Amino acid sequence: MAMTGVLRPGHTQLRVLDLEESVNFYKNVMGLVETGRDKSGRVYFKCHDERDHNSLVLREADRAGMDHYAFKVLNRETLQRLDSDLRAYGIHTERIPAGEMLETGERIQFEAPTGHIFELYADKTEVGDGLGYLNPDVIIEDRKGISPLRLDHWQIHGGDLDGSRDLFVNVLGFSVVERIVAKDGKTDLAVWLSCSIKAHDIAFVRDERDNTLHHAAYLLESWDHVLRTADLMSKKRVSIDIGPLRHGITRGTTIYAFDPSGNRFETFCGGYNFYPDMKPYVWTEEEMGAAVFYHTRTLNERFLTVVT
C-alpha cells in the first residue's frame, strides 16, 4: 500500500496531576526514553524503537486527560493539501508554529465533531533508535520496564461519532476496518479506523461525554511480552483494569491499566493487516462483549464508564 497522506499516530500531549510522579512512571515502569524538557515545563518521551524525537508529551494540570492527538503526514506538501481540504470541508484550522513543541515542525490544528483536538505535522527531528542505519544491530540493550515498540493507536469518546468518522474517511483518507452497530443494524456505536495497513490507528466510541480519552495504546512485540508486562505491572503495583486477554475486534491481545493520574493506557500486540479493498467487519450490539473481550465475552463496568 502506497502511503501518501496521513502516515501514523505521531504524538500526543497528556495531562497529568503530578509531573515528577508521572515522569518516573513513564520512564521506569513504561520504559520510555526521556528526550527533553521545554521552558513551559513539558517533558518529552519516545519509545526505544521509535526514530522521531518524541511521541508522548506530559503536561502537569489539575485535570487528567489528553490535550491533543497528532498524526504525522508524508511531507510539507501533504500538510498544506490536507489543511486546504479540511477548510474546504468546513473545518476551521489553526497553524501552530514550528518550535512550539521541541524538535517539531509546523502543526495544523483542528477540532473534530466529537470535540477532540487533532493536529497534523510533517517534520520532527529524527534521533534514531540507537541501532544505526548501516549494518544495524537487532537488539536495543539496557531497556527498562515494559519498553513498548511504539505509540500505536487511541480510543476516544464523544457524541458526534458520525461526524468524526466521516471527517476522517472523507478528508483524511482513513478506512473503516470494524464497526459495532446498534440494534437497528445501522447506527454505529463504535468504529475502528486505519490510515495504514494496521487493524486500527484510531477508534471512536459514541458517548455523550465529548472530548474524552478512553485509552492510548502502546505496541508490544508478542504474547510473551504481554504476559511479562502483566507480571511487571503486578510487581510495580500498577492499577490494572483488565487483562491479559484477547480482543474479538482486531484480534489483538491486551492489558488495560491506569497511570498514576488515572489515564488509561493499553499494552497491545497482534492484530491483522487491513487493505482498502477489504470490507469492514461488523459486530452487533448483543455481541459487544465478545467483540471487545473475546475470552470472557463480558464488559466490566469500569471499562465502559471510566474516561479522562
Q: Is 11 a residue of the active site?
A: no
Q: Are 34 and 47 in contact (CB under 8 A)?
A: no
- Continuous segment of H or E residues that includes residue 291: helix 288-292
Catalytic option among 11, 200, 214, 225: 200
Q: Are 255 and 267 in contact (CB under 8 A)?
A: yes
Ramachandran bin of 248, using left for φ above 0, alpha for ψ from -120 to 50, beta for the remaining angles: alpha
Catalytic option among 60, 106, 178, 266: 266
Residue 124 CA to chain centroid, in angstroms?
18
Q: Are 52 and 44 in contact (CB under 8 A)?
A: no
C-alpha Rg value of the chain to the nearest Å: 19
Q: What are phi and psi of 230, to 5 degrees?
A: -60, -45
Q: Is 256 a residue of the active site?
A: yes
Name residue 200's beta-bridge partners: none
d(CA 191, CA 181): 9
Ramachandran bin of 115, using left for φ above 0, alpha for ψ from -120 to 50, beta for the remaining angles: left
Given the C-alpha cell 520532527, which residue does it identify?
Answer: 124
Q: In the 8-state DSSP scheme, what is residue 280?
A: P
d(CA 180, CA 185): 9
Catalytic option among 26, 44, 218, 256: 256
Catalytic option among 48, 215, 225, 281: 215
Name residue 43's beta-bridge partners: 37, 58
Q: Is 215 a residue of the active site?
A: yes
Catalytic option among 68, 153, 214, 225: 153
Q: Is 53 a residue of the active site?
A: no
The catalytic site residues sit at 153, 200, 215, 247, 256, 266
